Amino acid sequence: MTVRERLREKISAAFYRHGLLCASYPVPIILFTSASILACCYPLLRLPLPGTGPVEFTTRVRDYTVPSHEPQGDLGEQPDWYRGPPVAYIQPVLVKAAVSPWDSTLVPVDVFRSPLGRVFSLLEEIRNHVHDDGSGIRSLEALCLQVTDLLPGLRRMQRVLPEHGCLLVSPGNYWQNQRELFDSDPDLLKTVHQHEPKGLHTSATLRDLLFGVPVKHTGVSLYSRKRVVTYTITMVLGSYDARFLSSLRARLRQLHPSVNCSLREDHMVHVHFKEEIGMAELIPLVTTYIILFAYIYFSTRKIDMVKSKWGLALAAVVTVLSSLLMSVGLCTLFGLTPTLNGGEIFPYLVVVIGLENVLVLTKSVVSTPVDLEVKLRIAQGLSNESWSIMKNMATELCIILIGYFTLVPAIQEFCLFAVVGLVSDFFLQMFFFTTVLSIDIRRMELADLNRRLPAEAGMPLPKPGPLRPREAPPPPRPSPHTITLQTPAFRNLRLPKRLRVVYFLARTRLAQRFIMVGTVIWIGILAYTDPAGLRTYLAAQVSEQSPLGDGGAGGLPPHLGVAPVFPGPGGDPVGTLSVLPAPAEPTPLPENQSQGHHGAPGEGVPLVPQISWGAEDEEGWRRLSFRHWPSLFSYYNITLAKRYISILPVIPITLHLSPREAIETRHPQDTRHPPPPSLKTNDLPADLTLYKVAALGLAAGVLLVLLLFCLYRVLCSRNYGQNGVAHGRRRRGDLPCDDYGYSPPISEISPLLLCGHSMDIECLASDGMLLASCCLAGQIRVWDTQTGDCLTVIPKHGLRRSSSSGCWEQRDGWDAVGVAEPENLGGGTEPGGGVFDEGEGYPLRRRTTPRPALFENQPDLTPLIDTNFDSQPPSHLLLTPPRDGFDFGGLVEKAYLEHEPPSPGLTASYPSPLSGPPPQRRRSLGYIQPPAPQGQETPDWESAVWAMELRGNLIAAGRSNGKLELWDAVEGSLRCSNEDGVSGITALAFLNNRIVAARLDGSLDFFTVDINKPLGLLQYRGPPGRSNMPPSPCYSSEDVISCQLTRSVQCAHQKPITVLRAAAGRVVTGSQDHTVRVYRLEDSCCLFTLQGHSGGITAIYIDQTMVLASGGQDGAICLWDVLTGSRVSHVYGHRGDVTSLVCTTSCVISSGLDDLICIWDRSTGIKLYSIQQEVGCGASLGVISESLLVTGGQGCVSFWDLNFGDLLQTVYLGQSSDGQGVRQLVVLNNAAIVCDFGSELSLVYVPSVLEKLD
Amino acid sequence: MADSTVVSDQQRSGSGQTDPSRGPYIAVITNRSTTLVIRGFMLFSIGVFLALVLNLLQVQRNVTLFPPDVISSIFSSAWWVPPCCGTASAIIGLLYPCIDCRLGEPHKFKREWSSVMRCVAVFVGINHASAKVDFANNVQLSLTLAALSIGLWWTFDRSRSGFGLGVVIALLATLSTQLLVYNGVFQYTSPDFLYIRSWLPCIFFAGVITMGNIGRQLALYECKLMSEKTHQD
């Protein structure tokens, strides 16, 4: 044994033990893991959050020196970027100007034309300012930041932004800093606007750059209410000279004193900009993330055969992510600060660490034997993969270590993170993921257990996917061909195209998703690119709302009239000067007010525009976008990334212009603007906008309503509402069709209710023209399928209600018989004269609600008993049913009393061989043939009809006591009967002139019907010689019709025959004994015994083309070749019994107890798709045409398009259909279907199908 | 892709009976030249996309700041570069499975889409590293990139034919690039000439391995389809 093998064994054993541990104590281990994750991530709290917002640092102006490059240890609060000189110093000169006093003769343009015009003189002043102290002459030219060309892409800004000179930005740049251009400009606003970019723009615009204040604060608009124009002249200085700046400040202040200005001037702010993430960097980043997501998607897609795929995929992703976090946290804990851009290397880290191990683990665990205990499964799975996991990990560690020795710092750091991440990922896989996996596997086992319980266990609607048994060929993963009801495909051919488009949009919710994604992206962009702007906006909101904010932050209120002491350098000389002009200005105010605008003073609009300085002006640049400075510098190809600029305190300038000056500077075209609004209409702009908004909103609302109405008309040309009222309910919400509430409109189908039976209908038979039905009460009714008229009523003569709950042809759930049998026997010998109680008469696994109890419904029984016979008063019926009967004659009555069988047929001969001796022919012992009162033969009055068939106008009825009767459907008379068999007839087939009866004891009887008068019977008219019928038992050969037992196969099957079908000269029987037998009809010879099912046969289909399909309790469906007896295909499709089977020429449709309808390709046996129905939808199926399937549901029938699996329509059968399930469904030739609906029959014509068939 | 898998599923479990309704569709899918064209087109578009993105990564290194209309810088290099890359990747992606076929040793190592995605991610990562990480000298850069590329090959390919083809194509591509540069058809943005030459072969090698991986994975579908068809016949 080599070292390698020994190592391998040891690793395997260790993993095995570890797996046992994890699966045994899942909760403590998960808690422990979470705690350790949190502990390892704790150091991350100290890391700064990544972001691109600028950082500020404030220093005092007075003792400012340019910071040195070397880090200084003494100033602890200095950020580490505050080293070296800044890129530039920004000196803003904030100008507030107003025409004062305001005159009614002034036009709106005057608000800003003359104030803006003053910028040129100011610029001149600034440019020409020369400071000369002893050391030399300094001017702006010497100090300012000299810029060269604009970037080549910015040709359109060339006229506006300065080139080859000082970077000095002001509104004057719009006019190339030339007063003449400004004066000759007819429309200033247009000039300003023409440089604005179109569309949404989040960063700084040219207007912001030139004005230096946000657009809405400039006051340059025709509707400005404050009539104060604000703008900034921004000087960008390359070097800092305190003396020059202070002299400039003093000069400007002297020229244009600001009265009530209390701005602090002692602080300069240094703004540091992080590295920007531009589009160019974003694209590769986004690409890597897309690749990462594709990787995660393709990886987690492989997780299969578990209870919750999503849960495990989430756990896998969580494992990887938290291992990354842990690695970063651990590295930080040990003193390594991450310098790499986390967002960039993150995808690569994930990819390097990988999800492979997790997937390998999952696969290995789920491929262990299912029947093992969960603990053992986990342990085995772990130990199976232990070697490869360890090997992979060692390899990866080696590769990363090699990377570590490249000695490139960035790669080394990456490798360090990767190594720690790998180790912590291994830890998490072993502890976290394995435990989650064990929990998942355990849940799945529980689900499996649930599934194995019988369906009556009251299980809620089972999930179709994960509960499917292991051996089911289609994996739970939704394949494109599985059509569940949650996502119905409206690809119906009958739908017009517009509807299909709309359905597609609605189904996928495209528009919604697009809008959502767009909004998220937009918000993300906003928040990411403009955090500072957002922050200042929020701050502004808060300070506006709080009344204390202004007083506290704003320093002195503006109207104190006391010149504040300016602590800044150079502030002192101006202090006295500034007081002088201030009182001079307000003096004309009262006169103007009184003369110009009589009547409406104090409307809220100041006649003298108030120029006030507040705290917000102190650092006015904060209100700008934080990209303001980077974009300004980027125009000259200067990056601010990872550098800082210093913003010097603002120089405030207040300008008051006289109206005369404003008028003088007017451009001739300015007056073309609307006349100056009178004082009254001063408020109008605001109000107007309000009205405008209201009117527009109203109009938009009306338009929207109209649009929706048109859409509705276009899309829904049919009127649902009226039809719905007229034809019972079409409840959209209750349709088992889809979640979204659409059902494709097709023409309304109205069911025709055939009433008459008083009890639930048990047998249905039809030959196309006629329809015979038999109810629990034993009454047989014959209906015309065209008109729905009741033609004949053959009443139940004896009230012996021996229980039969149904025709054996439609039997489902034979499997439960054996289980429930003892109860049955007990029920059979219940008090009440041995009458089998109705409710538990037959232990079927029906999903229908309990049918009405016998005795409650008894009063309803009375009207039907009348017809031709003398009836007893109903009160007798109620309490003494066994002794009661129709009075055909005393003889009959007496005879019945003597030979009271406890419960004919059913209890004794109930399916299994252990149910006691076969029933005797009690009847025959003492049977006295009574003369039938109306010339009929004597029918068997006391046994129930278990099977019924209809051909021509002969009804063949098989009774529970083994009697076969032939009735005339039109006349309602008994034509003959045969009592050769004693065991109850469970199924009948009537083909040509042969009748095949299957009996409870497993025997099969072949009868031949001889018709002596060939013309008579198969027509509507009854035979003329009815009076000829002798009142003798039907064995007599003189009859018009005789029914003779030609052959009886005694032991056709070992167990009761459950299904009997005949077609194409073959009779096929299916039995509880797991076999299917094929007989030839002519000579009743057994051709094949088909074996292949592992459960009792529950459904058989055979048609003229000799295709035989059988379904069993094992959920399997077999397709056979009847000619050779070979099995064509064998598929498992259902969880539980197959309840019915239908074939079309191309596919096989099966329904099972699991409420699933599966559609299989007939030739290949491939499952095309399946439809999950509601619980208790019943098992009845019918195929109307090649592409139309009809299924019965709770009080409704549903039509499906077979080609696509779409629900076409659900027709509700009655007003109160709750609880009534459709159990039998017969498709007639004329595209109508008949289904039982409690005690009524429902005849549904499908007009659209007729059209389609033609 | 999903359709073809469905079709193949149906064929696999089919019992040999032909269904006339499915005929033409199968014929289209299994038509060899059609799939070749489809595969070639997919490879071509992947190549173009990767070329654009990676070019952007390289451009980024040399320019400090971008003007606002930065999108145009995606197309800043010569217009014929992305189509060339696309064509080359299509050829490589088709060549790899073909050589596998010829040599008779079908590539079976990690044939999954997740692994292919991982490979692409690592390839982009190598590019990223070469663009973003500052190396002391060009030798170090070359060595690191070579180690990374060979690691890529070892992790995702491990076939001798793949390695050989990768080396040959990388050398040829480097040679032709140099020829183009010497003839003045194309020039690097970076003044440092050696720098470019040091990473070019490694990037080419990694790209060849990546595209071959994608091509093999795409060819897998066709192989599946073909084998089933022959089986059916």
- Interface probe with A: pick from B13, B18, B139, most Cβ of A within 10 Å: B13
CB contact under 8 A, A1166 and B10: yes
Task: Choose the weakest-confidence range: A93-97, A625-629, A1067-1071, B90-94.
Answer: A625-629
**Cα(A570)–Cα(A133) distance, integer angstroms:** 14
Please check whether residue B206 lies inside any domain of the structure.
Answer: yes
- Residue-level pLDDT at A904: 41
Q: Which of A928, A944, A940 is nearest to A892 (CA)?
A: A928
Please determine, for residue A589, whether its predicted confidence score (pLDDT) is greater than 60: no
- Residue-level pLDDT at A789: 78
A735-759 confidence digits (pLDDT tens) = 333 333 334 444 456 677 777 777 7
Chain A hits for B116, CB-CB cut-off 8 Å, are 298
CB contact under 8 A, A631 and B68: yes
B96-121 confidence digits (pLDDT tens) = 888 888 887 777 777 788 888 889 99
- Interface probe with B: pick from A1145, A1166, A1169, most Cβ of B within 10 Å: A1166
Please determine, for residue A88, whether its predicted confidence score (pLDDT) is greater than 80: yes
Handedness of CA A700, A705, A708, A714 (dihedral sign): negative
Instruction: Find the CB nearest B122 among A299, A351, A410.
Output: A351
Nearest CA in chain B to A413: B133
Please check whether residue B15 lies inside any domain of the structure.
Answer: no
Chain B hits for A1129, CB-CB cut-off 8 Å, are 15
pLDDT interval class at A812 (50, 70, 90): very low
Nearest CA in chain B to A346: B125
Please check whether residue B189 lies inside any domain of the structure.
Answer: yes
Check residues A577 and A267 and name the one with the higher pLDDT.
A267
- Find where tokens 């008063």 sit: A873
Mean pLDDT of the residues in chain A: 69
Please determine, for residue B43, whether its predicted confidence score (pLDDT) is greater than 90: yes
- Residue-level pLDDT at B90: 93
Instruction: Find the CB nearest A351 among B13, B53, B118.
Output: B118
Residues with Cβ within 8 Å of residue A124, at least 6 apart in sequence: none
CB contact under 8 A, A280 and B19: no
CB contact under 8 A, A295 and B72: no
Residue window 577-636, chain A: list those with CB within 8 Å of chain B: 631, 634
pLDDT interval class at B87 (50, 70, 90): very high
Lookup: tokens for A744? 């494709």
A553-570 confidence digits (pLDDT tens) = 333 333 433 333 334 343
Percent of chain A surpassing pLDDT 70 = 64
Please determine, for residue A990, whether its predicted confidence score (pLDDT) is greater than 70: yes
Please check whether residue B139 lies inside any domain of the structure.
Answer: yes
Instruction: With beta carbons less than 8 A apart as the criterion, state whether A1102 and A1111 touch.
Output: no
Mean pLDDT score, A418-440: 88
pTM of the model: 0.45
Chain B CB within 8 Å of residue A637 CB = yes
Radius of gyration of chain B (CA): 20
Residue A273 backbone zone (phi > 0: left; psi -120 to 50: alpha; other: beta)? beta
Nearest CA in chain B to A341: B132
CB contact under 8 A, B72 and A153: yes
**Cα(A630)–Cα(B65) distance, integer angstroms:** 10
Chain B hits for A151, CB-CB cut-off 8 Å, are 67
Instruction: With beta carbons less than 8 A apart as the criterion, state whether A365 and A442 touch.
Output: no
Please tell me the distance in Å from B129's CA to the nearest CA on chain A: 8
CB contact under 8 A, B121 and A288: yes
Domain of residue B87, residue span = 32-56+67-231
**Cα(A980)–Cα(A962) distance, integer angstroms:** 8
Mean pLDDT score, B131-154: 82
**Cα(B230)–Cα(B233) distance, integer angstroms:** 5
A947-978 confidence digits (pLDDT tens) = 888 777 778 888 777 788 888 777 777 777 77
Axis crossing angle, helix B193-232 with helix B160-182, rounded to the nearest 10: 140
pLDDT interval class at A83 (50, 70, 90): confident
For A1240, what's the count of Cα atoms within 13 Å in the CB-facing half-sphere?
17
pLDDT interval class at A1246 (50, 70, 90): low
How many whole angstroms from its chain centre is CA A1004? 54
Lookup: tokens for A1123? 């000619």
Please determine, for residue A810, whether its predicted confidence score (pLDDT) is greater than 70: no
Instruction: Find the CB nearest B57 among A284, A351, A481.
Output: A284
Please check whether residue B25 lies inside any domain of the structure.
Answer: no
Please determine, for residue A291, whether its predicted confidence score (pLDDT) is greater than 80: yes
Instruction: Find the CB nearest B121 among A347, A356, A403.
Output: A347
Mean pLDDT score, A805-815: 39
Chain B CB within 8 Å of residue A1187 CB = no
- Residue-level pLDDT at B46: 92
Residues with Cβ within 8 Å of residue A1040, at least 6 apart in sequence: A975, A1011, A1012, A1013, A1016, A1017, A1023, A1025, A1028, A1029
Chain A hits for B70, CB-CB cut-off 8 Å, are 278-280
**Cα(A759)–Cα(A945) distance, integer angstroms:** 13
The residue type found at B184 is G
Radius of gyration of chain A (CA): 48
Please tell me the distance in Å from B83's CA to the nearest CA on chain A: 19
Lookup: tokens for A34? 């979470």
- The complex scores an ipTM of 0.79
- For chain B, give the number of residues: 233
Chain B CB within 8 Å of residue A1128 CB = yes
CA distances from A305 to A14, A437, A451 (A): 26, 12, 16
For B12-74, the DSSP string reads HH--S---GGGHHHHHHHH-HHHHHHHHHHHHHHHHHHHHHHHHHHHHHHH-S---S-GGGGG
Please check whether residue B36 lies inside any domain of the structure.
Answer: yes
A120-162 confidence digits (pLDDT tens) = 888 888 888 888 777 778 888 888 888 877 776 666 677 778 8
Please determine, for residue A37, whether its predicted confidence score (pLDDT) is greater than 60: yes
Classify residue A612 by burial, with Cβ atoms within 10 Å: 0-12, 13-18, 19+.
middle
Please check whether residue B136 lies inside any domain of the structure.
Answer: yes
Instruction: Find the CB nearest A408 among B74, B112, B135.
Output: B135
- Residue-level pLDDT at A146: 83
Residues with Cβ within 8 Å of residue A1202, at least 6 apart in sequence: A1144, A1147, A1149, A1159, A1183, A1186, A1187, A1188, A1189
CB contact under 8 A, B70 and A355: no
Please determine, for residue A671, whether its predicted confidence score (pLDDT) is greater than 50: yes
CB contact under 8 A, B19 and A281: no
Task: Choose the weakest-confidence range: A702-711, A767-776, A1190-1199, A1228-1237.
Answer: A1228-1237
Chain B hits for A356, CB-CB cut-off 8 Å, are 114
Please determine, for residue A1151, whether its predicted confidence score (pLDDT) is greater than 80: yes
**Cα(A174)–Cα(A218) distance, integer angstroms:** 15
CB atoms within 10 A of CB A49: 6
Nearest CA in chain B to A1163: B17
Phi and psi, residue A974, nearest 5°? -80, 125
Q: What angle do CA A1168, A1172, A1177 make, to 5 degrees?
A: 125
Assess whether the previous peptide bond of B82 is cis (omega < 30° from 0): no
Highest mean pLDDT among A375-379, A710-714, A1196-1200, B166-170: B166-170
Chain B hits for A292, CB-CB cut-off 8 Å, are 121
Please tell me the distance in Å from B50's CA to the nearest CA on chain A: 9
> Which own/partner contact pairs does A182-190 have at CB distance under 8 Å and 24+ positions apart?
A182/A116, A182/A117, A182/A120, A183/A117, A183/A665, A183/A667, A184/A667, A185/A667, A186/A667, A186/A668, A186/A669, A186/A670, A187/A669, A188/A109, A188/A112, A188/A113, A188/A116, A188/A220, A189/A220, A189/A221, A189/A222
Please tell me the distance in Å from B106's CA to the nearest CA on chain A: 23
CA distances from A31 to A7, A35, A314, A610 (A): 31, 6, 17, 66
- Find where tokens 């049998």 sit: A821
Please tell me the distance in Å from B201's CA to the nearest CA on chain A: 18
What is the tally of structural domains in chain B? 1
- Residue-level pLDDT at A1024: 41
Instruction: With beta carbons less than 8 A apart as the criterion, state whether B225 and B30 touch.
Output: yes
**Cα(B150)–Cα(B163) distance, integer angstroms:** 9
Check residues A7 and A724 and name the one with the higher pLDDT.
A7
Residue window 290-309, chain A: list those with CB within 8 Å of chain B: 291-292, 294-295, 298-299, 301-302
Chain B CB within 8 Å of residue A281 CB = yes
- Residue-level pLDDT at B44: 94
Chain A hits for B75, CB-CB cut-off 8 Å, are none
How many whole angstroms from its chain centre is CA A1127? 42
Instruction: Find the CB nearest B117 among A283, A294, A639.
Output: A294
Please check whether residue B2 lies inside any domain of the structure.
Answer: no
3-class SS at A746? Answer: coil
CB contact under 8 A, B125 and A639: no
B183-210 confidence digits (pLDDT tens) = 766 655 554 555 666 778 888 999 999 9
- Residue-level pLDDT at A922: 40
Chain B CB within 8 Å of residue A639 CB = yes
**Cα(A757)–Cα(A865) distance, integer angstroms:** 11
Nearest CA in chain B to A299: B114
- Interface probe with A: pick from B116, B118, B122, B145, most Cβ of A within 10 Å: B118
- Residue-level pLDDT at A1041: 72
Chain A hits for B2, CB-CB cut-off 8 Å, are 480
Nearest CA in chain A to B136: A408
Chain A hits for B112, CB-CB cut-off 8 Å, are 298, 302
**Cα(A576)–Cα(A257) distance, integer angstroms:** 10
- Pairs across A and B, CB distance < 8 A: 135
**Cα(A702)–Cα(A689) distance, integer angstroms:** 20
CB contact under 8 A, A278 and B66: yes
**Cα(A327)–Cα(A41) distance, integer angstroms:** 8
- Residue-level pLDDT at A715: 66
Residues with Cβ within 8 Å of residue A34, at least 6 apart in sequence: none
Nearest CA in chain B to A302: B114
Phi and psi, residue A1201, nearest 5°? -85, 120
